[in-house]
Structure 1
């Protein structure tokens, strides 16, 4: 993307004002979001396995929203829907720029595929302004668009589901405990397949983990005595309590 102000690139008598033409690199947005998730992945000690915290979903949505509304510092978002010549959602790295001599003008002009609307050209008036000051541009809501639907589409596209395991803090703690115990039993690290099997069969939702922990604490303090079926029934009663379920949900569980 060309960052030099367009007014400095207007040819007058065969020449233009700018001594150099500054351009910045644009990369696929999918790669940027992918790096974000890679940096936030967590590992399970004693197993060839990594996962993402379920609390990361909210942060990922906020990051995507900042990008698509062009409020993320040092980046400029170019949506695929913005122009038919843009093959996919792109993000421009404003710090990753280079100044070219003016004799490259013709080559750049021939390579041009799209142009920003006037209001968004303010974002690229000059590189220093883009990085160190905020230029106000309208968000989806301000442009009269269906913001919720558009943002939901970006979330669906860039927040991985089928390729990622999402665990809450409680689920991750329980998984690590089970993996550690299983590892001692078999005297080796667990494979990804074995960990996935544990998640499928032994890692319940947060509300059930809390209910089971309450039962265990009551048993430990001899406040609950009964057979195994009675304990399971008591745990079900706790996990089905509406107020507790609402509380856990509000905390992201």
Structure 2
């Protein structure tokens, strides 16, 4: 078995009750196709396999774990050796219920990649650092930033439950949270998403400054005058998109 790799941010679940609770949250049916990100030692994988699904694919970056999982599960799971931060999930075709104990150091990068491939997502059940979950579900204030503002236009994200450090080997120094990610009926072109993302990064660049200052403007146009004294962290995502489009 491969050894844990700190460089990959690996902490593996050992609590079978937590594993079952995570998979149960997916509300799987026999017709579902499942994609697991970063299966590692296969704790979630084993539980998902037991659900007798239409198809099960796992994406794992570490070739040692790929060999271990292939030997353990055989043809019950299709293992792809790839980096989930830039993998083309759309190449697999169709929609999946996603699962993943996302490594702490790349969880936001993986979610950003899933935004690009959001049409493949029926629903996602992910475990992330509690601090990340707090940010992703924030609607205003200090936890709310450019990434939650971007993601929340396309996904409903809600916290399901917390997972204590003792549920892992080795125990991390932080609490984890399981979140549910569900796509919204909202669509804009990829080019505009990238431009809007750049706009958001500028808007949130110096959090204590007003929006117009961060955008390099002396004043906002008349039709945006209600935002003239506001900071980005006080403005909902939909309104930030409206501001972006009017200024563009």
With the shorter chain as reference, the TM-score category is under 0.3
More helix by share: 1
Normalization by structure 1: what TM-score? 0.23
Question: What is the TM-score when the length of structure 2 is the normalising length?
Answer: 0.23
Query: Larger Cα Rg: Structure 1 or Structure 2?
Result: 1
